Amino acid sequence: MINLQDLEGQLREVNKNLKDKYDFIFSLDNDTFRKELTENVGRLIEMEKYPKEKLSKYKRTVGVDGSNNRSGGAFPHFIEIFQGLAKSTDGNEVYKNKVYTPTLNDIYEDKNLSQKHLATIEIETALEYINKYDFDYLMMDGGFIRYKINCLDLFTELRETCEAKNIVLFGVIKDLKTNVIARSLEIDESIYDREILFNRLKTGEAVLIRNEINKKFIKDGLGEGFSSAFMRTSKFPGAVGLDILDTQEKYLEEISNLIYTLTPMSSRGVPLWLDIVDKDVKITDEILTTLLEEYLDRDVYERFFISERNKRSL
């Protein structure tokens, strides 16, 4: 039986510790916080919702997202399918897929390749779309850092291709993991921008982060090569992030407005087009099971990719 009394005590302790840790942030009145933000972090702007006639400029906007799902048990007895989708608002789309299982590789191979494969399939999908179609704006689901970490050469190719073809490349970050504000205000750097900005920005406000305090910006050979912003794009009190190439920084405010325009007020703050791409690219458990049962011999499927837990229901 679950020891509810013990759990209650521990959860109350967590609650107290979180309040203690964030007391400085929680206790700042909004006027003081906004003053600190503009003085130390970046320029605060009011974004614009583009009217329909102005949106025609962005009719060739492409969203890119990836999805993965796996079947099996512990390493190396699993099989994983990755899928990337690049989909334009004018109807064109490109899918790419990859199947991976460590059972075919060296037993000592990196056990944490999922993020690398996922990032790779997304960039490969974007590049294939660029080779097939002409368009102007490329919106990635997520920030750019993970691409540099997981597939630097491919991301460099994507960057250079977009620059050469005058395609504005940007990434929308749903879950902020940076600590730009904490570093700027010289407080506990383990406090993320996500927590600090919660319910602090007004709907339609964005902070265009100063390059000199943004670790993602490249200067004198340092940094990652991006300019960034935080923004609140809906009634949801949380903020989302934006990365754009440093060479395309002049579009930062324009793209902030575009993201705001494409985001429904009642949503969690993400552009509707990215949600559509995310839904279309998903590999559900049902799809994965159907594929494996259809294309793998039964003895191969059971020997390698059905975990002990799953066998209980067979």
187-198 pLDDT, tens per residue? 888 889 999 999
- Alpha-carbon distance 45 to 34, whole Å? 12
pLDDT at residue 172 is higher than 90: yes
State residue 76's pLDDT score.
83
Confidence bin at 312 (pLDDT 50/70/90) = very low
Which carries the bigger pLDDT value, residue 215 or residue 164? 164
pLDDT at residue 85 is higher than 60: yes
State residue 38's pLDDT score.
94
Phi, psi at 228, each rounded to 5°: -145, 165
Nearest-5° Cα angle at 179, 178 to 185: 155
**Least reliable range by pLDDT among 57-71, 104-118, 205-219, 287-301:** 104-118
Nearest-5° Cα angle at 176, 221 to 14: 125
**Least reliable range by pLDDT among 52-56, 294-298, 310-314:** 310-314
For the segment 12-31, what is each residue's pLDDT rounded down to a tens digit? 999 999 988 888 888 888 99
Helical H segments across the chain, by residue range: 4-21, 23-27, 30-40, 52-55, 114-132, 145-150, 152-165, 180-185, 193-197, 252-262, 272-281, 285-295, 298-305, 308-311
Q: Which two tokens stand for residue 118?
A: 């996922």
**Least reliable range by pLDDT among 152-166, 220-234, 300-314:** 300-314
State residue 304's pLDDT score.
78
The percentage of residues in the chain with a pLDDT greater than 70, rounded to a whole number, is 93
Confidence bin at 308 (pLDDT 50/70/90) = low
State residue 180's pLDDT score.
92
pTM of the model: 0.90
For the segment 38-61, what is each residue's pLDDT rounded down to a tens digit? 999 999 999 999 999 999 899 889
Question: 264: burial class by Cβ within 10 Å (0-12, 13-18, 19+)?
Answer: middle
pLDDT at residue 159 is higher than 80: yes
State residue 222's pLDDT score.
54
The percentage of residues in the chain with a pLDDT greater than 90, rounded to a whole number, is 66
Average pLDDT (270-284) is: 94
pLDDT at residue 202 is higher than 60: yes
pLDDT at residue 236 is higher than 90: yes
Count Cα neighbours of 90 within 13 Å in the Cβ-side half-sphere. 13
Confidence bin at 77 (pLDDT 50/70/90) = confident
- Alpha-carbon distance 276 to 293, whole Å? 28
Q: Which two tokens stand for residue 172?
A: 């929308």
Confidence bin at 65 (pLDDT 50/70/90) = very high
Q: What does the mean pLDDT of the chain come to?
A: 90
- Alpha-carbon distance 93 to 88, whole Å? 6
**Least reliable range by pLDDT among 3-7, 257-261, 290-294:** 3-7
